[in-house]
Amino acid sequence: MTTTQSNSAQVSKSVISGRASAAIQPGEELLRVENVSLAFGGVKALTDISFDIKKGEVRAIIGPNGAGKSSMLNVINGFYHPQEGEVWFCGKKRRSLKPHQIAHQGIARTFQNIALFKGMSTLDNIMTGRFTHMRTNLLMQAIWRGAAEREEIENRQVAEEIIDFLEIQAIRKTPVGRLPYGLQKRVELGRALAAQPDLLLLDEPMAGMNIEEKEDMSRFILDVNDEFGTTIALIEHDMGVVMDISDRVVVLDYGKKIGDGTPTEVRSNQAVVDAYLGVAHD
């Protein structure tokens, strides 16, 4: 007896991980910043920073307020182009990028302040994350039958897998503006995942959350990393979380790198301890 078509409960899962880095093996270098310096006028945001991100790892960037973490993230995704130094992504040196090129290169991110479309539903927000994977043009989408329809079904499937993965089925059709903060953060993570990124950047994914929400978010970050093999770089202030979930940690202070290594190494690094406890700078 053959199972009928309707029996699609076992739909094969699409792989939610990027294509640009397909040739790179886990554990090899995915992104490298070399001697990067960035200044806004006279203000030096980053000074001579070098580190790498290996494929498949969870890499944290930490540091006190104003240390240059968000600037670093903006350099990594190409939004800022550093005055000095080089960024290598997937084995290629990066040039200055236009916004649409940034979107297409395979790096997705979430923001410190949630940047969702408040009036749109969770599902629609996540579908916007699929934008870079859509090939049909406006006319084809207006006619809809045929290619656009097929494409919508494919993309909806990815979006639904993400909804299932993040356990947000109950808010699928709810406008995100009505959701509590913790859930909005989760939707934003969903939208970033929908892009099937090679590298996922999370800017303070746990800011303003209570303990339970933090635990949930930590679990989702680890699950994303585990299930899809997505490389993750994150900025976070909660040291407990950082030490628990990241493989390696970069520490910035006043735009300079003061530490780099596993959580244990970083924890015992005197310069890092001083930066956090506030030793006078001469």
Q: Which of 1, 22, 23, 139 touches other proteins by CB under 8 A?
A: 1
Which range touches other proteins (CB under 8 A), out of 138-146, 168-176, 186-194, 266-274? 168-176
Q: What is the CA radius of gyration of the chain?
A: 20
Specify the residue, 105 or 184, whose C-beta has the smaller distance to other proteins.
184
C-alpha 280, offset from chain centre: 34
d(CA 178, CA 32): 39
In this complex, which beta carbon is closest to other proteins, that of residue 80 or of residue 165? Answer: 165
Does 142 contact other proteins by CB under 8 A?
no
Residue 4 sits in the site that holds other proteins (CB under 8 A): yes
Site for other proteins in 214-243 (CB under 8 A): 223, 226-227
Sole binder of other proteins in the list 28, 84, 86, 164 (CB under 8 A): 164
Burial class (CB in 10 A: 0-12, 13-18, 19+), 271: middle
Amino acid (1-letter code) at residue 263: P
| Contact call for residues 125 and 117 (beta carbons, < 8 A) | yes
Among 51, 157, 213, 237, binds other proteins (CB under 8 A): 157
The rounded distance, in Å, linking the Cα atoms of 241 and 215 is: 8
CB closer to other proteins, 36 vs 209 = 209
Is residue 154 near other proteins by the rule CB under 8 A? Answer: no
Q: How far are the Cα atoms of 45, 258, 271, 274, 277 from residue 280, in angstroms, in the given order? A: 20, 15, 12, 9, 10
Our CB check for other proteins shows the closer of 27 and 66 to be: 27
Indicate whether 89 belongs to the interface with other proteins (CB under 8 A). no
Which range touches other proteins (CB under 8 A), out of 57-65, 98-106, 153-161, 229-237? Answer: 153-161
Burial code (b: 16+ CB inside 10 Å, e: under 16) for 92-129 equals eebeeeeeeeebebbbbbbbeebebeeeebbbbbbbeb
Which residue lies nearer to other proteins by CB, 6 or 113? 6
- Asked if 148 touches other proteins (CB under 8 A), the answer is no
Tokens 């990241």 found at = 246
Rule CB under 8 A: say whether 167 interacts with other proteins. Answer: yes
Compute the distance between CA of residue 44 and CA of residue 247 in angstroms, rounded to an integer.
Answer: 29
Query: Binding to other proteins by residue 213, rule CB under 8 A?
Result: no
Phi, psi (degrees; rounded to nearest 5) at 125: -60, -45
CB of 4 to other proteins, least distance (A): 6
- Stretch in the footprint of other proteins (CB under 8 A) among 54-62, 140-148, 163-171, 248-256: 163-171
Separation in Å, CA 79 to CA 96, 130, 210, 280: 9, 20, 31, 33
In the complex, least distance from residue 196 CB atom to other proteins, rounded to whole angstroms: 17
Footprint on this chain of other proteins (rule: CB under 8 A): 1, 3-4, 6-11, 123, 156-157, 160-161, 163-165, 167, 169-170, 172-173, 223, 226-227
